[in-house]
Amino acid sequence: MDVPSPCVKVCVLGGDQVCLGCGRHIDEIAAWGSAAPAVKLRIVAAARERLARIDPQLRSQAAAQ
């Protein structure tokens, strides 16, 4: 099973090293290519939770860059 990348081509890291576009931590982004499908599913779930906590205005500003 292939898990699609959550990347939305808005690659801007916040101070906590989390991408403001997809919500993945820099370590998760680096590991994505070699991660097993189960690990990718956990990364996607964690990224969604992080995105829900990021200020929408901050995400909007990152997308505009």
Q: 11-23: b or e for each residue (b if 16 or more CB lie within 10 Å)? A: eeeeeeebbbbbb
pLDDT at 26: 98
pLDDT at 58: 81
Alpha-carbon gap, residue 61 to 37, rounded angstroms:
32
State the pTM of this model: 0.89
pLDDT tens-digit profile of 17-56?
999 999 999 999 999 999 999 999 999 999 999 999 988 8
